[in-house]
A = this chain, B = another copy of it.
Amino acid sequence: MGRFGEATAVERVAEGRYSVELDDGYLIGTALNGGYLLAVLARAAVDATPHEHPISTAANFLRVSGPGPAEVRVDVSKVGRTAATSRVSLVQDGRTLIESLITTGTLDPAAEPDWAGEPPVPPVPPIEKCTEGLQNIERDRGFADRVDMRFDPATMGWLDGQPAGRPELRAWFRLPDGEDADAYVLALAVDALPPVALNLGAKGWAPTVELTWHMRAVPAPGPLALHGSGRLLTGGWFDEEVEVWDSAGRLVAQSRQIARVGRGG
Query: Which residues 56-81 of A have a CB within 8 angstroms of B?
Result: 56, 58-60, 62-63, 77-78
Complex CA gap A63/B79 in Å reads 11
Query: Is A116 part of the binding interface, using a Cβ–Cβ cutoff of 8 Å?
Result: yes
User: A256: which B residues are within 8 A, CB to CB?
Assistant: 212, 214, 254, 256
Q: Which of B60, B107, B108, B111 contacts A77 (CB 8 A)?
A: B60
User: A103: which B residues are within 8 A, CB to CB?
Assistant: 60, 209-210, 258
Contact string, A237-249, partner B, CB cutoff 8 A, digits 1/0?
1010001000000
User: A100: which B residues are within 8 A, CB to CB?
Assistant: 101
CB distance from A99 to the nearest CB of B (A): 6
Question: Is B217 within 8 A of A115, CB to CB?
Answer: no
User: A17: which B residues are within 8 A, CB to CB?
Assistant: none
Given A214-B256, A216-B234, A232-B254, 5 additional A-B pairs, CB 8 A: A60-B85, A99-B101, A115-B232, A210-B214, A216-B232
Shortest Cβ-Cβ A-B pairs, 5 listed = A58-B58, A212-B212, A113-B234, A56-B210, A117-B231
Q: A58's closest neighbor in chain B, by CB?
A: B58
Question: Is B116 within 8 A of A96, CB to CB?
Answer: no
Question: Is A233 within 8 A of B113, CB to CB?
Answer: yes
Question: Is A85 within 8 A of B113, CB to CB?
Answer: no
Beyond A212-B210, A233-B113, A234-B111, is A85–B101 a contact (Cβ under 8 Å)?
no
A115, A209, A216, A258: most-surrounded residue (chain B CB, <10 A) = A115
A101, A111, A236: most-surrounded residue (chain B CB, <10 A) = A101
User: A231: which B residues are within 8 A, CB to CB?
Assistant: 116-117, 243, 251, 254
User: A108: which B residues are within 8 A, CB to CB?
Assistant: 235
Q: A107's closest neighbor in chain B, by CB?
A: B235
Question: Is A77 within 8 A of B96, CB to CB?
Answer: yes
Counting chain A residues whose Cβ lies within 8 A of the other chain, the interface size class is: 35 or more
Beyond A103-B209, A114-B233, A254-B239, is A260–B62 a contact (Cβ under 8 Å)?
no
Beyond A62-B77, A209-B56, is A214–B239 a contact (Cβ under 8 Å)?
yes
Complex CA gap A210/B236 in Å reads 26
Q: A106's closest neighbor in chain B, by CB?
A: B235
Question: Is A212 within 8 A of B117, CB to CB?
Answer: no
Query: Is A230 part of the binding interface, using a Cβ–Cβ cutoff of 8 Å?
Result: yes
Question: Is A200 within 8 A of B85, CB to CB?
Answer: no
A-B pairs with beta carbons under 8 Å apart, 9 shown: A55-B237, A58-B101, A82-B260, A87-B87, A114-B200, A114-B234, A214-B256, A216-B237, A254-B256
Contact string, A20-64, partner B, CB cutoff 8 A, digits 1/0?
000000000000000000000000000000000001101110110
